[in-house]
């Protein structure tokens, strides 16, 4: 079974009440519930973590190699500031997808630069909670395309 690690960064536990005009009304619990359902229906074991602490996020990424086939991460504010998270992703050897609820390129200028994106396979932003699902779909596609046996298994499961 494919295992994907999903990391929510700082302040995402405030979703649903924090700036709904930017982040929407969905709270983290409901987002996680939908993602868990998606994972189950796609034969993925999804491990979800949320932390407001940069060091904890770095540790989670550092322990990912050999345990997870892919990483989906919303680094939140650390997107623009954390060389440590960037280096952890680069060193982990696990394909990563960066996701954001809002379109970071349509926001304040300091939010328009991601230190994380250059070490990820791709980035999804601006689609609200759907950004997470799209990121998971991309991660699953990456993992499946790199392993022909998994690719065939996933094709059979989706029929």
In the set 8, 23, 78, 132, the catalytic residue is 23
**Is 80 among the residues known to form the active site?**
no
Comparing CA positions, the residue from 70, 65, 53, 61 lying closest to residue 9 is: 53
H and E: helices and strands count for the chain: 6, 5
Beta-bridge partner residues of 125: 100
- In contact, 4 and 68? CB cutoff 8 Å: yes
C-alpha to C-alpha distance for 150 and 153, rounded to whole angstroms: 5
In the set 53, 78, 80, 100, the catalytic residue is 100
**Is 113 among the residues known to form the active site?**
no
C-alpha to C-alpha distance for 138 and 70, rounded to whole angstroms: 10
Comparing CA positions, the residue from 61, 124, 134 lying closest to residue 95 is: 61
Catalytic sites, residue numbers: 23, 100
């Amino acid at each position: 079974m494919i295992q994907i690690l999903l990391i929510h960064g700082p302040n995402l536990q405030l979703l649903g009440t924090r700036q709904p005009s930017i982040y929407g009304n969905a709270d983290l619990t409901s987002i996680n519930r939908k993602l868990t359902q998606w994972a189950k229906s796609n034969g993925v074991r999804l491990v979800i973590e949320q932390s407001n602490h940069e060091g904890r996020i770095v540790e989670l990424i550092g322990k990912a190699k050999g345990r997870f086939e892919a990483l989906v991460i919303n680094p939140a504010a650390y997107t623009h500031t954390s060389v440590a998270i960037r280096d952890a992703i680069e060193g982990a050897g696990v394909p990563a997808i960066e996701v954001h609820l809002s379109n970071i390129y349509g926001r304040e200028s300091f939010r328009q630069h991601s230190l994380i994106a250059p070490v990820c396979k791709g980035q999804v932003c601006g689609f609200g909670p759907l950004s997470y699902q799209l990121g998971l779909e991309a991660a699953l596609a990456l993992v499946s395309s790199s392993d022909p046996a998994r690719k065939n298994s996933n094709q059979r499961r989706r029929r």
